[in-house]
Structure formats: structure tokens, C-alpha cells
Structure 1
Amino acid sequence: MQTYSRRTLIRTLCVGALLGTAIAPMPTWAEPKFQDPLDLPAQMRNGISTRPMLSVARAGDALVAVGSRGLIMRSADQGKTWTQSAVPVQSDLLAVHFPNPSDGWAVGHDGVILHTSDGGKSWTKQLDGRIASGVFKQYYGAGAADPATQAAASQIERNFKAGPTLPWLDVWFDDADRGFVVGSFGMIAATVDGGKTWEPWLHRIDNEKGLNLNAVRGLGGNLYIVGEHGMVYQLDRANRRFRKTATGYAGSFFGIVGNANSLLAFGLRGVVYRSDDGGSRWEALKMPADATVTSGAVNGDAGNFVLVNSAGQFLIGDRDGRSFKVVHAASPMRYTGLALINHTAAVVTGLDGARTEMLSGTGQ
């Protein structure tokens, strides 16, 4: 029986193509045909609450969590039980947001943007990297030849050179119509019609180096983006442009949270920077833990800050966001997302699924 090595097979195919000679039949153990996760619906699975989950959000009284291979699940009983939703892709999903109880958006790898209009029970695809590649290139190709547009056009060409695989890392909607998505290598897009159409905004942000944009949040009537090199960008709504502010931090911020008193930008190695003037000036805080801070929220009842990190810890702060203490979880894991149920409980996501954790010491 004749056997083939992978190197021999590739060599045979290449030589045959170059010389125009006949090629021996493919062996029966040839690798299966690649199936694009954009073309496959998420598989319905058992034990969904213990599978890797990467973000969670409130949808009115419900909770919706997203994770690997297109998994989206919904809880109507504050995280006690979860039901898997129908999802049209198997791409990994990284973030989810609901501006109201019905309308929500989830984003992730392969440039996927999903929408729900029934509170997360079912989802449809609005955009993916294959579609965006053509739409965004056409948008900048038809634009004026000003320097900002030219730079954005070049960035789009570089970003899609390897294919439509770049992920959207976060999503935020002001209401059911107006929203933003941000992602790797400076990718950013906006919609004003609920996601029916998306406009690239690479020419509308002070991000000349194409740094990663890791998170976007609306806080106190303002809109902020955080990313690499300690950058914070704030939307100038009048001029439709995100203006940058350097915080002095050289690493990456993965999120931003705020209340009426303070803004907190957080990220690698437990770093947290604080601003009390809406983001113009920033100061580094002394934190009680050095694990990467992955998500945060403001306790609506107590008004204080709650952060979680990759070591499975809660960091409970005061209302001013100046002082924090560590609260250990009952079942710690590498936390990726956080949604507060009330002032005493939260649902957290992580590499081991989704769990409800009771908080202590949050009423500072």
C-alpha cells in the first residue's frame, strides 16, 4: 500500500502544476474541506453555562452572555438557569451590549456584527469581514483625496490584506439607532440606522498609528474609547471626531467605567487610571492587586465601583474611585465580563462559563 507524507503530496502538486504533467490521484486521507465559521450556525450544546464565555450584559431584567464558537445564552432568572440562543455563525464572540431590553448587538471575530430584536433569544447577522472588506474599501475609494481619507484607505487595505478575519472587540449603542464598534488595528465603524448600514470611521479618530481600540462606552453623556499605549479617545459630537488624550500609561487599557465623580480606565497588570474632569487629566491609582482588570461596572444603588480581574478577584472601590479592596469570589475563575444584578450580587463570565457571585463590602 502506497503512503504519502504531507510534504511529498504538496511537492507533487506543485511540480505537476509547473510542468503540466499528470498528477497522481489524491490519497483518501486528504484533509477535510475548510468550512468558514461565517457560514455555519452555532451548534446547540449541553452544559452551556460551563463553556468559555467572554462578555455579559443586561437586557432589561434578563442577562445575555456571549462566548466561543458563536455561543450566546440568555437567563431570565438572574443567572440561575441559561438557555442557548439561535445564532447564524460559529465565530467567537467577544462583546455584547443592549441599549434597551429588546435591541442588542454582539460582535467578535471575522468582523461579525449580530443583532437581536427580541432580547437575545434569536440573532441575525448584519455585517462580517467579507462584506466589510468590499464596503469599506469602496467607501474610501469614493472619498475625497484629503490626507485623512488617504491614510484611512491605506489602513483598510492593510487590515484586510490577510482576509476578513480581524475581530471587533467591543460595541456600544446610545439608542436603538446610533452605535459604534471598535477593534484591532484601529478598526472603527458607526451606524445611525440600527446597523442596517455601517460607515467606517478610521478618518474620524486621532489614531494615526492604527492602534488597537479595545473598548467603547457611553458615560455621563460622553462617548469614550480606550486602547493601546494608554490612549483614551473622546467623541467631539459637534465635529464627529474622536480626540485623543494620552494618560501617561504605556500599556493597554481594556475598559473604561465611570460615575458622576470619576472615570476609571483599566487594563494590563492591574493598572487603573482615574480622571475627575471628564477625561482631560489622568492619574495612576495604587491598586491592591496586579492581575489584569478585564471588566467593570458602577453599583447603581451604592454608586461605587466594582471591577473584576483575570485572577478571579473582585476589586470593590468607593464612590470617588480612589480606594479599592479585594473581595474574593466563592468560585473564582479567569473573569472576562461582569454585569451587576443588584448591590449584593453579580453575574460574571470567564473561561469556565457564567456564574452568579455574591458581593460583600460594596456599600462603601
Structure 2
Amino acid sequence: MKTPCLRLRIFLILFLSFFITACLKTPEMPDRSEISTGYDLQEIPVDISLGGLFFLDEQKGWATGNKGVILHTKDGGKNWLVQETGTEMLLVSIFFVNEKLGWAVGDSGLIAHTKDGGLTWGPQGSGVEKDLTHIFFLNEKQGWVTGVKGILLSTDDGGLRWTRVKGDSQMTMNQILFTSADKGWIVAQKGKLLYTENGGKNWALRKIDTVIDLLKIDFVNDKVGWIVGSAGLVLKTVDGGKSWFRQKSGVSSLFAGLSFVDENTGWLVGAGGMVLRTRDGGESWEQQTTGTLQFLTAVHFSDEKRGWITGTKQTLLYTETGGEAPPSENSSEPAVSVLEQENPSS
């Protein structure tokens, strides 16, 4: 049985070695009113940590957390309401295919499903008891779930039946993403990257030059994508994943989430309130002030300006400026990138 402390651990990827718990103390930040930041802290009605984050459009979004909590907004995060799930288990990932049909996954093989936009949630039988890490649906019928110990589940009937995909791997699979009906990706621990080109019927390893845990993946089109992981890892592809090359993030922090809106503009989030933004496709990164030192677990931007970030201890940030802070009254100099800060002579 999990201890109350472990039940507070939050986010989807870290079934590896990191557990972010409400028991851990975070260094105190100055009052937010004294900090120049482009992010507002949105109020949520429960005292939980948040991990899963999904927006269907600029107005409708969901966030998941510990204690079985799912939050929903219909107004772009101005107001968040609790949706009852009937469980106290940690929920780490959530996905909707439209305003009505959605799924969430979490501890001990839990898959929750809604047919009414989250007004009611009910369980679906996963057939496993291990922790699940991520869920993705191609459409109303075809979906996938990843988990620890090599768990990979698929459904072709909206979750009425979940089938375990056979494989020899015991590695933790952290996220699954399909860029088309045929082509999909799974990022996993120890630098393992799986891909399919036939809709998940077969999966193969794509060799990349790292043994660092891969935690999140995002594509902006069928050619250009990024992977982030622990130890400040950022990988990029420009040929649809045939090859991956490393980009310098300028930090050694663990990245828990990423969101790109086009081939140039994207954000990374992670430990210690870290947010990095690029406007040149990852060639350089600038650190943004968030006003928090909490662990940031997920990020979603709908365009170059509007974005949301979740984190531990009631952290839900929102920006309408792309994360840019208001101009300082006593300085007109532009923000300096992380790499420029670390290499002043370059």
C-alpha cells in the first residue's frame, strides 16, 4: 500500500526515480507582487499537485492530479471546477477527442472514462495493476496507454476492451504520441525511443546517442519534432525522426514538459520553476521568470501568446504574453539567453 506521502507524487513521467511529493519542502520565493513575471498564478479550488494537462481549444481544458482530482475550465482558466472521478488514486495523464469523450490514467492500472465532458467518470478495465504514465487517442475508437514495466495497451473500441501489446521490454514508457494514423512514437527510460510505421502493429527501436531518460516528445508537423529528458536533454529531428541531434539547453535540470506552436517557438518546463523559451527552433533558449520554485510538470501553449503550466502544490500558471514579463522601468535591454549567460565571451 502506498504511503500518504507517495500518493502525493505528481507527474506522469517520473515513475522512474523522481517522486515529487507534497511532503518535500520548496525554497520560499518572494511575494509574487514583488516579482516581474509574465505568468499569472490561477486559483484552483483544491489543495493538490497537478500533473496531466490537456486543452481541446483555447477555452476548454482539463488538469489532473493526486487524490483522484480532475479540474476543468470552460473559460481559458479564469475558473476551474472539480470533476468527481470516484477515485482517490493519482491521475497523471488526460486526453479528450472532443467536448464529450475523454480518458484519464494513473496509478494501479486505473483508466477513467467520460462520455459527458467530465460531468461523470467511470472506470474502464485495463487488465493491469501497474502504474500507467500516459494516454493518447487517434480518434473516438483508437487509443493507446503507456506504463511502467514495459506496459503498452491499445484499444480499437474506445476502451471497452484494452489489449496489452506483447513485448520483451521491462522499461518504463513515459509518453506515446502519434503524428498520423500510421506513425507513432514512444519515449522511455535510458534513452530508448520506439517507433511504429504501421499504426502500432509493430514497434522498433530507433537508435539515438544517449542513455539519458527520455520523458516527453512533441512534433509540430510530420518532419520537425523535439524530445526532452533528464539532465537538460533536448533532442531535435528535422527528417521525421530518422535522425535526432542534440541541442544545448544551457541547463542541467530535468525537463518534464514541452510545447511547440510552430517550427520556431516552444517552451520547456521542469524542476525549480524552470521555464525556457526558444524563438529559433531550439538554437538558443532564454529563461523566463515564473515567480515559483515549484516543480513544473506539464505545459501547453495554444499560440505564441497563450499558455498554461501545471506544477506541484496548487501551481497552475497562465500567460497571455508568451511568458514575457512587463518591461522594466529602469532597463530597456533585451533578455539574455541562457547560453549567453553561461558563455559571456561567445
TM-score using structure 2 length: 0.75
Q: 197, 204, 215: which one pairs with 1:236?
A: 197
CA distance in 2, matches of 1:239, 1:76: 34
Match of 1:309 in 2: 270
| Residue aligning to 2:211 | 250
1:328 match: 289
Q: Say whether the 8 Å CA contact 1:74–1:82 is kept in structure 2.
A: yes
Of all paired residues, the percent bearing the same amino acid is 20
CA distance in 1, matches of 2:315, 2:158: 28
Q: Distance in 2 between matches of 1:283 and 1:224?
A: 17
Per-residue CA deviations over 1:198-247 (Å, capped at 9, x if unaligned) read 111124xxxx3421111111236631100012111111216711111121
Give yes or no for the alignment of 1:272 onto 2:204: no
The one-letter amino acid paired with 1:216 is I
Match of 2:99 in 1: 101
- Deviation of 1:341 (Å): 4.5
- 2:49 maps to 1:52: yes
CA distance in 1, matches of 2:238, 2:210: 17
Aligned to 2:173: 213
Q: Which of 352, 357, 362 is the equivalent residue of 2:313? A: 352
Give a deviation string over 1:127-146, Cα, whole Å, max 9, x none.
Answer: 25xxx15xxxxxxxxxxxxx
| Higher relative helix content | 1
- For 1:229, what is the secondary structure of its paired residue? helix
> Could you tell me which residue of structure 2 aligns to residue 88 of structure 1?
86
Larger radius of gyration: 1
289 and 357 in structure 1: CA distance in 2 versus 1, 3 angstrom threshold? farther
Does the aligned pair in 1 maintain the 2:261–2:302 contact within 8 Å? Answer: no
Q: Quick one: which of 101, 109, 134 aligns to 1:170?
A: 134
Q: Distance in 2 between matches of 1:199 and 1:319?
A: 41
Q: Contact between 1:169 and 1:214, CA under 8 Å: does it hold in 2?
A: yes
Rate the CA distance shift 1:287–1:189 in 2: closer, same or farther, 3 A: same
Aligned-partner residue type, residue 236 of structure 1: E
Counterpart of 1:117 in structure 2 is 115
Q: CA deviation at 1:88?
A: 2.1
Q: Distance in 2 between matches of 1:350 and 1:239?
A: 32
Per-residue deviation, residues 50-102 of structure 1 (Å, max 9, x unmatched): 41111110134311111102111111121122111110221111111122222
Task: Determine the C-alpha separation between the residues in 2 that align with 1:360 and 1:320.
Answer: 17
SS at match of 1:241: coil
Rounded to whole Å, the distance in 2 between the matches of 1:342 and 1:268 is: 26
Could you tell me how far 1:122 is from its partner in structure 2? 2.2
Aligned partner letter, 1:122: T
Deviation at 1:345, TM superposition (A): 2.8
Structure 2 residues not aligned, in runs of 5+:
1-6, 8-42, 326-346
- Distance in 2 between residues matched to 1:181 and 1:281, nearest whole Å: 25
Q: Could you tell which deviates more after superposition, 328-337 or 106-115?
A: 328-337
Residue of structure 2 equivalent to 1:159: none
Counterpart contact for 2:132–2:146, Cα < 8 Å: yes
Q: Distance in 2 between matches of 1:209 and 1:196?
A: 26
Letter in 1 for 2:196: L
The alpha carbon displacement at 1:361 in A equals 5.5
Instruction: Give unmatched runs, 5+ long, in structure 1.
Output: 1-36, 38-45, 134-163
**3-state SS in 2 of match to 1:311:** helix
Task: Specify the code of the residue in structure 1 equivalent to 2:194.
Answer: Y
Any conservation in 2 of the 1:295–1:337 contact (CA below 8 Å)? yes
Report how many residues are paired: 279
- Return 93-102 or 249-258, whichever deviates more: 93-102
Q: Which has the higher contact order (CA 8 A, sep 6+)?
A: 2
- Code of the residue aligned with 1:81 in structure 2: it is N
